[in-house]
Amino acid sequence: EAQVTQNPRYLITVTGKKLTVTCSQNMNHEYMSWYRQDPGLGLRQIYYSMNVEVTDKGDVPEGYKVSRKEKRNFPLILESPSPNQTSLYFCASSSFSGRMSDTQYFGPGTRLTVL
Amino acid sequence: RKEVEQDPGPFNVPEGATVAFNCTYSNSASQSFFWYRQDCRKEPKLLMSVYSSGNEDGRFTAQLNRASQYISLLIRDSKLSDSATYLCVVNANTGNQFYFGTGTSLTVIP
């Protein structure tokens, strides 16, 4: 089954304790992305990756890191989480059509609470 | 100015009604447009892409107006199962950044 998986699905942590949210896709997609969703603000792009070893900042990259060492995986790293990073996080992937990334497929989301 | 703006609603409509959502975008060079559906606390899922010529999928019709920089979604004969939040999405002219609207909430009432 074609899918994007994220782990963990729920996480409660404390300020400053490093964490990683994993994302994996089995569709051989070149493009992967991370979003956060907050009430009233919608989904905002954190980082995206066009292929292995190629990553770029989205609209809200501060406080986050990513890596793309393998095509299927795109982990999101919070080196020193703060309460304002409490949010619902989605990973997504898509293929490329010509120059443009195509329809995105989303993971089930990770609900993160930073105390 | 936000890249993408939507009326948040909520829209409460009776079953069988026709409802329309609009979404405006700020970057005239944007090239790809989508409507996604999101059920409460779930991941967004593609409803339909929006093409320049307009496109229809069953009860759903999407339109793009480049001159006025808006996209629209029309839902005919609303079903209870259409209750969800509808997100418009614009792919920036670089092709690699996506901008989401904040979503329009629809509740279809029996």
Percent share of chain B, pLDDT over 90: 74
- Token pair 């919608």 is found at A42
Residue B83 neighbours by CB under 8 Å, 6+ apart: B106, B107, B108
Residue B94 in this model has a pLDDT that exceeds 70: no
pLDDT beneath 50: ranges in chain A: none
Q: Which of A106, A55, A62 is nearest to B41 (CA)?
A: A106
Residue B30 in this model has a pLDDT that exceeds 80: yes
Instruction: Compute the count of residue pairs across chains A and B with CB atoms less than 8 Å apart.
Output: 52
Average pLDDT over residues B18-44: 92
- What pLDDT was estimated at residue A40? 86
Instruction: Give the angle A102-B38-B79 at the CA atoms, nearest 5°.
Output: 115
- What pLDDT was estimated at residue B101? 94
Residue B100 in this model has a pLDDT that exceeds 70: yes
- What pLDDT was estimated at residue A87? 97
Interchain CB contact of A40 with B (< 8 Å): yes
Give the pLDDT confidence of B36-82 residue by residue, as tens digits.
Answer: 999 997 999 999 988 888 889 999 999 999 999 999 999 999 999 99
- What pLDDT was estimated at residue B9? 84
- What pLDDT was estimated at residue B93? 62
d(CA B43, CA A8): 15
- What pLDDT was estimated at residue A98? 58
Partners of A109 on chain B (C-beta within 8 Å) are 41-43
Which of B31, B41, B98 faces A104 most closely, judged by CB atoms? Answer: B98
Q: Are B49 and A44 an interchain contact pair (Cβ–Cβ within 8 Å)? A: no
Q: Name which of B43, B47, B52, B100 to mutate to probe chain A: the one with the most chain A Cβ atoms within 10 A of its Cβ.
A: B43
